[in-house]
Amino acid sequence: MKNWEKNIRRVIPYTPGEQPNCPDMIKLNTNENPYPPAPGVEKAWGELDVPSLRLYPDPACSLLVNALAKRCGVGEDQVFVGVGSDDVLAMCFQTFFNSKKPVLFPDISYSFYPVWAELFGIPYETTALDEEFRIVKEEFYRENGGIIFPNPNAPTSLLLEQRDVEEIIAHNPDSIVIVDEAYIDFAGAPSAMKLLEKYDNLLVVQTFSKSRSLCGMRVGFAVGSPRLIRYLNDVKYSFNSYTMSLPALTLGAAAVADEAYFQETTRKICATRERSKEALRKLGFVFPEPAANFIFASHPKCDAKALFEALKERRIFVRYFDKPRINQYLRITIGTDAQMEALFGALEELVSKPVFENGY
Ligand code: PMP
């Protein structure tokens, strides 16, 4: 080891899902939306004022903040926006989790949480899901320096009922509770934003990546009490004043403006999910009840990793996590009906092959 290497911060990074680039692939591995962004987004893209890119963008991100405040029915001082919800969440870890007590999040959950905790030197403990992968609210009734969980959870796709979310918040008046609602628009359930009037220690984080088809533009946001948003902005301005580019602000606002398109594509994905549940069950798969735009499925007779590899050979990409307890599951993003049909065709062939019947 070189001497200078001793002074380098070394971390084990988060591994994002593969972004392969084959022309005829079926990509169901990173929970992207199979439909394009709203027509108004494409129009706004065409009308972007390129010469004005010589100027810095608005550091307060007012165009997007105002659009979101209106959509969510909250004040403009209650909204914070960032470069995807990953950026917002990383900023939240830095801002709100500044205690010697451990931050709590579920043991099977978004695998970026422990990475941020390690990066920022935040102590953390995980809370155990039950045998059916459900979040156990009582696990959060202990001393902590903050709480975060996704709802619906990832990669399980399971929804925690609003009353249980509320109980976790109510039990923790001395901590900031962050509900990561990346997938809430597919859940047919209310957002925890409804609880903001009652709890000033609650922060709700959402993204434009999934239900608004804007993964590539990187837009995420948080909604909370004006005090929490002020603290977040203080950290943001201590780090990078210009997190959001002019295109991201403009296209994000255009996406919010088209409520009808958002409702329609979200409804289509949920309908495909319901059909996919039936098709997967017929093939012998089992899964927790999905509330997001993905299904976390396991086959009692087929090794998940072998299925994952065999699908990949057919240029069908799903997500596989080689981790304890979930290494016999595939996380399958809901695509178009045609993409799902192709997946089920391939799976039908694969699950009937004895090579996969290794009865783990
Ligand atoms: N939270 C959860 C639970 C997620 O699964 C993801 C997607 N990887 C994110 C946050 C981040 O999404 P984005 O940065 O695209 O908004």
Predicted confidence pLDDT, tens digits, the chain (360 residues): 899 999 999 999 998 988 998 889 999 999 999 999 999 999 999 999 999 999 999 999 999 999 999 999 999 999 999 999 999 999 999 999 999 999 999 999 999 999 999 999 999 999 999 999 999 999 999 999 999 999 999 999 999 999 999 999 999 999 999 999 999 999 999 999 999 999 999 999 999 999 999 999 999 999 999 999 999 999 999 999 999 999 999 999 999 999 999 999 999 999 999 999 999 999 999 999 999 999 999 999 999 999 999 999 999 999 999 999 999 999 999 999 999 999 999 999 999 985 565 544
Going from the Cα of 149 to the center of ligand 1, the distance in angstroms, rounded, reads 12
Which pTM value belongs to this model?
A: 0.97
Cis peptide before 114 (omega within 30 of 0): no
Q: Is the CB of 82 under 6 A from ligand 1?
A: no
CB 295 within 8 A of CB 334: yes
Nearest CA to ligand 1 atom 8: 30
Q: Rounded to the nearest whole angstrom, what is the distance from the C-alpha of residue 5 to the centroid of ligand 1? A: 32
Nearest-angstrom CA–CA distance, 312 and 214:
25
User: Is the CB of residue 85 below 6 angstroms from any atom belonging to ligand 1?
Assistant: yes
CA 138 to chain centre: 24
Contact residues for 72 (Cβ-Cβ < 8 A; gap 6+): 78, 79, 193, 223
- Residue-wise burial string across 283-313, b where 16 or more C-beta atoms lie within 10 A, e elsewhere: bebebbebbbbbbbbbbeebbbeebbebbbe
HSE toward the beta carbon, residue 51, CA cutoff 13 A: 0
Q: How far is the CA of 355 from the centre of ligand 1 (A)?
A: 35
Q: What is the pLDDT of residues 19-55, one digit of tens each?
A: 998 889 999 999 999 999 999 999 999 999 999 999 9
Q: Is the CB of 155 under 6 A from ligand 1?
A: no
Tell me the per-residue pLDDT of 259-299, one tens digit each, with 9 for 90 and over: 999 999 999 999 999 999 999 999 999 999 999 999 999 99
Tell me which residue of 165, 187, 189 sits closest to 177, measured CA to CA: 165
Residue 3 class from Cβ within 10 Å (0-12 exposed, 13-18 middle, 19+ buried)?
Answer: exposed
CA separation for the pair 204, 80 (Å, rounded): 10
Q: Is the CB of 84 under 6 A from ligand 1?
A: yes
- Give the torsion sign (CA, 171, 92, 88, 67): positive
Which residue puts its alpha carbon closest to atom 1 of ligand 1?
A: 182
The DSSP 8-state label assigned to residue 76 in this structure reads G
